[in-house]
Structure 1
Amino acid sequence: MQHAEASAAVSPKDRFVTVYGRKPVLEALGDPDLAVDKVVLADTARGPAAREILDAAARRGVPVRRASAHRVKVLAGNGRHDQGVLADVVAPRMRPLAAALDGRRPPRTVLLLDGITTPANLGMILRTATAAGIGGVVVPRHGVASIDPLVVKASAGVAFHAPVLRAATAEDAAEALRRAGYPLLAMDAGADQTLFTARLPEPVAFVLGGETAGVSPGVRRHVTGRVAIPMAGGVESLNVAGAAAVLCFELVRRRIGG
């Protein structure tokens, strides 16, 4: 596990948010608050659109690499909307989960995302968690939506600066958190105790399950407790992004965070 995480630490997916498409790339290059590591431009890209990107990169001193159109699609992870260009934007608070847990000040509060595949939900969760001062949001490399331009848009740009922690899968992350001494509390509408009355330990990790399947079996076996958000009016549950918002600001109210 440690060897695998050490290898993952040098992965670009643990260091950058990759945006693709002409407009998102130009927006990233035009934002002085963002550090762009590099631009990758398809070798077939020519004309005014390509020139605009090349000029914008030159103004920022950002290197531009040429690659085949197929390679750009592979790197972008999107076969339809890359438009032959991508940019790797430095995410200063993104790091491997293992590095965060082994650091001098491990996060006191962690959200573990398990099977959340809707970009809008991921973006809103990242925005809310950052605003609430949550210590880390585990966004696994597999089984959860990629942090792409749709997620960046849903987060209103906060995804670039969110405290994202990377792991291979949600199950790997759950195991690592438990080994590090974190109780895992699953947000579950059927739980007997509510978020507002439960005793919440520190440190603590909360599991937010997917939009349809909820918490996966592999993660569920590491869960140590469950908490619910009380519902009225015949409403069964909240959207996962709404539930995350309630959770995050209950932690703010209790002054649990960071």
Structure 2
Amino acid sequence: MVSPKDRFLTVYGRKPVLEALADPDLEVDKVILADTARGPAATEILRAARASGVAVQRASAHRVKVLAGNGKQDQGVLADVVAPRMRPLADVLAGRRPPERVLVLDGITTPANVGMILRTATAAGLGGIVVPRRGVAALDPLVVKASAGVAFRAPVLRCATAAEAAERLTESGYAMFALGASGQSLFEAELPRRAAFVLGGETAGVSEEVAELATGWLSIPMPGDVESLNVAAAAAVLCFDLVRRFSPGE
């Protein structure tokens, strides 16, 4: 059975929920409204949901906080938005045509970085972006905002941890390349068509468990006097070098 976390992006707060309900390109599965929510704001949400044909469930304020995963900003309401390209990693790897090239996010905890990576990788036509449920920023309104809404239709692949993703991908025949400050130049490396590229966290970089499974390390040449790039910037360089090498969308 597929977990709801592998089917929906959950947005919370009055404005994000109203925006999701008003967007004709999005399919909202349901709205959950705290039973303590009253007044004009709650009325507006109920009216918008009714106009869109979306069911509204009532729940305790505590339950809404738990489901939103954010106790300060949910404002007593959340919506589950269908993410049509989101799939469990295991299902995709077992399918007939798994993607040739995927990104793996490993310990990236800043929502803005996750959102920008989703936008960039989707624009570059990558077939999958592994966003583990643990160790990476939750796919929440901050990520959606940073992606400029692309997160809803990004090819997100879900699993528990980056280490699990690395193991599954390796077992499925993917070469595993980690990006770091040292390693072979990205622009000079020979890359197989079937490969996974690991982007490490903002502070710690690629985790030890994932690094142990790496086929090799790649670095982005920087002739200027700068130690490293922001991980979202590094992802952009990588993704569009892959566009240069391969036809997107394969």
2:172 & 2:246 partners in 1: Cα distance? 22
Query: What is the DSSP-based 3-state SS (H/G/I as helix, E as strand, rest coil) of the residue aligned with 1:249?
Result: helix
2:187 & 2:116 partners in 1: Cα distance? 22
Q: CA deviation at 1:236?
A: 1.4
Query: What is the DSSP-based 3-state SS (H/G/I as helix, E as strand, rest coil) of the residue aligned with 1:189?
Result: strand
Equivalent residue letter for 2:107: G
Task: From 11, 29, 44, give the equivalent of 1:19.
Answer: 11
Residue 106 of structure 1: aligned partner: 98
> More strand by proportion, 1 or 2?
2
- Contact in 2 for aligned 1:109/1:257 (Cα 8 Å): no
Q: CA deviation at 1:256?
A: 4.9
Query: What is the DSSP-based 3-state SS (H/G/I as helix, E as strand, rest coil) of the residue aligned with 2:181?
Result: coil
Please, what TM-score do these two structures have when normalized by structure 2? 0.98
- Contact in 2 for aligned 1:100/1:106 (Cα 8 Å): yes
1:57-72 matches, within 5 Å, as 57-72=49-64
1:240 & 1:256 partners in 2: Cα distance? 24
Task: From 142, 145, 157, give the equivalent of 1:150.
Answer: 142
Query: What is the DSSP-based 3-state SS (H/G/I as helix, E as strand, rest coil) of the residue aligned with 1:143?
Result: coil
Q: CA deviation at 1:187?
A: 0.6
Please, what TM-score do these two structures have when normalized by structure 1? 0.95
Q: Which runs of 4+ in 1 moved over 4 A?
A: none
Q: CA deviation at 1:184?
A: 0.5
Equivalent residue letter for 1:160: F
Report Cα offsets for 1:46-66 as digits up to 9, x if no partner: 010000000000001000000
Q: CA deviation at 1:255?
A: 1.8
Query: What is the DSSP-based 3-state SS (H/G/I as helix, E as strand, rest coil) of the residue aligned with 1:219?
Result: helix
Report Cα offsets for 1:221-250 as digits up to 9, x if no partner: 111101110002211111000000000000
Residue 219 of structure 1: aligned partner: 210
The number of equivalent residue pairs is: 249
2:213 & 2:228 partners in 1: Cα distance? 23
1:37 & 1:221 partners in 2: Cα distance? 40
1:170 & 1:197 partners in 2: Cα distance? 26
2:229 counterpart of 1:228: no
Q: CA deviation at 1:173?
A: 0.5
2:120 counterpart of 1:128: yes
1:167-186 matches, within 5 Å, as 167-186=159-178
Report Cα offsets for 1:18-42 as digits up to 9, x if no partner: 0000000000000000000000000
Query: What is the DSSP-based 3-state SS (H/G/I as helix, E as strand, rest coil) of the residue aligned with 1:40?
Result: strand
2:160 counterpart of 1:160: no
Residue 85 of structure 2: aligned partner: 93
Q: CA deviation at 1:195?
A: 0.6
1:237 & 1:189 partners in 2: Cα distance? 7
Query: What is the DSSP-based 3-state SS (H/G/I as helix, E as strand, rest coil) of the residue aligned with 2:116?
Result: helix
1:52 & 1:12 partners in 2: Cα distance? 26
Report Cα offsets for 1:190-231 as digits up to 9, x if no partner: 11x111110010210000000000000111111110111000
Report Cα offsets for 1:102-157 as digits up to 9, x if no partner: 11110001000000000000000000000000010000000000010000000000
